[in-house]
Amino acid sequence: MGEASNNNQNQATSVAALLQERRIRMEAEKKKKDAQDKVERARKAAERKAALEADKPEDPKRAADLKYAAQQKKRQQEARGERERVLKQIEDDKAERKARDAARKEQAKIIAGTEQPNPFTAPSSEMGTMKRGDHCALKVRLFDGSAISSRFPSEATLEGEVRKWVDQEQQISESPYTFKHILTPFPNKEISISEEAKSLQDLGLVPNATLILVPIKDFTPAYSQGPGVTGLLSSGVSAGYGLVTSGLTSGFGFASRVLGSVVGDSAQGAPPATAPSPPQEPRQSDRHELYNGGGINFEPRRDNQDKED
């Protein structure tokens, strides 16, 4: 009996211990689960809050500020780009001016190193040596102000091909002339008749040149020339003028003779209305006081002159 009660008591103690252990274990599991649930709830709450904030419309003021900031940034970028472009343009202009100045200085050195042209010596020859060619483009200004242009071989001469061409273009022969070479900005050069035998290349007219015609002043032909176009025209005009003037002279002479005879017949029977007045010139000359070199010595008038007065 005693052992049986002890066994029952031991079993009851064992069961109570098991129950106690189980309860502790369950409480620990519950706390752990509660902690996990709390963390999960917090995570979900944070996600919901973030979603709500994402769906919430932006503030108009903040949106305007962001837009203004973007515009300012764009304007600054454009201003920066424009400034860089202007600076690059300035640098390019400086480089271009520097190159032009260098070329101008080099040209000035070349011009200073060569002999200056003299209007009495032929500056066109020196200028012509720098430019050689096979042909010469000539432009000639005529007496009436018009201009003609043509091309000639560089070996042609003024007295040959050029004069023949100019005379043909003028159609009517003008007064004798010489040529003047226009050398702007240098002084112009008159080409003498003796120089016209030189080639256009030797005269410095290659590759192009401008000439003007200069009339020869006080020109008188030494020998009479045969009748040309001008001679025929002048002869015809002179003949016509002579016929007209001779006819007019004959007509006026005949009319004057007829009128004279009529007036003479009518004036024979009538006495003259007034007598012709005596000439006054001698008397006036006698009245002139003659100065003989003295202070008051004048020739006195005669008595008959006083009576006549």
Q: Is the predicted pLDDT of residue 128 greater than 70, yes or no?
A: no
Say if strands 177-181 and 147-153 run parallel, antiparallel, or are unpaired: unpaired
Distances (CA, A) of 136 to 50, 121, 154, 155, 187: 92, 22, 6, 9, 21
pLDDT at 112: 76
* Mean of pLDDT values over 297-308: 52
Contacts of 181 (CB under 8 A, 6+ apart): 124, 188, 189, 190, 191, 203, 204, 205, 209, 210, 211
* Mean of pLDDT values over 116-128: 45
* Mean of pLDDT values over 274-281: 48
pLDDT at 144: 85
* Mean of pLDDT values over 6-18: 77
* Mean of pLDDT values over 60-65: 84
pLDDT at 62: 81
* pLDDT bucket at 69, cuts 50 / 70 / 90: very high
Give the DSSP H or E segment for 179: strand 177-181
Q: Is the predicted pLDDT of residue 274 greater than 50, yes or no?
A: no
Q: Is the predicted pLDDT of residue 219 greater than 70, yes or no?
A: no
pTM > 0.75: yes or no? no
